[in-house]
């Protein structure tokens, strides 16, 4: 056993997650591949909006350290402070639920950033409108979905190059969907996609 972590998830009922070394390693390395913290021109700067108590941050602490990244930790979610950090620190990645991204986008301090930030958006499908508004701020969303008990997200959206030629609204509709299994997980099959 590596760790025993407890989290409330979305049900507010405590759930325990048992981490073993092999699974944590595989999930963290999958996180390096899927979240691309190693793709930044400089080191990854990970802003901790997702609480680490969500089963040890879905292995992100280990993935970020694997690429020699820097962790920016918060005592609380304070939107003016978040925008200050996004503007002044070399933040390249963060992870947050749609509600948090909506409040971040609506903050009076919101401005288009000089450099892109990759945002992992987790939970049930966010709106395409939110993704469009985030993209205008140079926050580039990637939608993922997973259960707290699965170490990390198990389904995600992969940005396809042909989407770059689509109108923004249509592109963001596609970005808001997930339906592909992550590299260290099992294949995902979407039975009845929304047309």
Q: Is 171 helix (H, G, I), strand (E, B) or coil?
A: helix
pLDDT tens digits, the chain, 195 residues: what are they? 888 877 766 667 777 778 889 988 988 898 898 888 888 778 899 999 987 767 788 888 999 999 999 999 999 999 999 999 999 999 999 999 899 999 999 999 999 999 999 999 987 778 889 999 999 999 999 988 876 666 777 788 888 899 889 998 898 888 887 678 888 877 777 677 665
What element of type H or E holds 142? Answer: strand 139-145
Q: Is 5 helix (H, G, I), strand (E, B) or coil?
A: strand
Residue 50 confidence (pLDDT): 83
Residue 72 confidence (pLDDT): 97
DSSP-derived pairing of the beta strands 155-156 and 117-122:
unpaired
* Residue linked to tokens 């939970």: 123
* Residue linked to tokens 């691309």: 36
Phi, psi of 18 (to 5 degrees): -95, 120
* Residue linked to tokens 């998830």: 9
May I ask the CATH class of domain 3-181? alpha beta
Q: Is 185 helix (H, G, I), strand (E, B) or coil?
A: coil
- CA–CA separation, 10 and 73 (whole Å): 22
C-alpha angle 8-153-87 in degrees, rounded to nearest 5: 90
- CA–CA separation, 169 and 173 (whole Å): 6
Nearest to 118 by CA among 68, 157, 149: 157
- CA–CA separation, 109 and 112 (whole Å): 10
C-alpha angle 145-93-114 in degrees, rounded to nearest 5: 130
* Domains in the chain: boundaries: 3-181
Listed in sequence order, the residues at least 6 apart from 15 whose beta carbon sits closer than 8 Å to its beta carbon are: 6, 7, 8, 9, 148, 149
Phi, psi of 171 (to 5 degrees): -60, -45
Q: Is 19 helix (H, G, I), strand (E, B) or coil?
A: strand
Tell me, rounded to whole angstroms, the distance of Cα 143 from its chain centroid.
Answer: 7
């Amino acid at each position: 056993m590596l760790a025993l972590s407890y989290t409330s998830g979305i049900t507010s009922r405590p759930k325990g997650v048992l981490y073993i070394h092999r699974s944590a390693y595989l999930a963290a390395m999958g996180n390096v591949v899927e979240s691309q913290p190693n793709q930044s021109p400089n080191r990854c700067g990970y802003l901790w909006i997702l609480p680490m108590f969500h089963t040890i941050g879905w292995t992100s602490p280990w993935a970020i350290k694997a690429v020699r990244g820097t962790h920016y930790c918060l005592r609380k979610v304070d939107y003016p402070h978040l925008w200050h950090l996004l503007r002044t620190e070399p933040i390249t990645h963060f992870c947050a639920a749609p509600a948090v991204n909506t409040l971040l986008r609506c903050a009076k301090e919101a401005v288009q950033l000089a450099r892109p930030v990759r945002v992992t958006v987790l939970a049930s499908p966010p709106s395409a409108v939110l993704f469009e508004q985030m993209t205008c701020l140079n926050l580039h969303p990637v939608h993922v979905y997973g259960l707290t008990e699965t170490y990390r997200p198990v389904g995600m959206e992969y940005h396809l190059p042909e989407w770059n030629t689509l109108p923004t609204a249509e592109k963001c509709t596609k970005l808001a969907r997930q339906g592909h299994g992550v590299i260290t997980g099992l294949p995902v099959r979407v039975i009845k996609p929304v047309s």
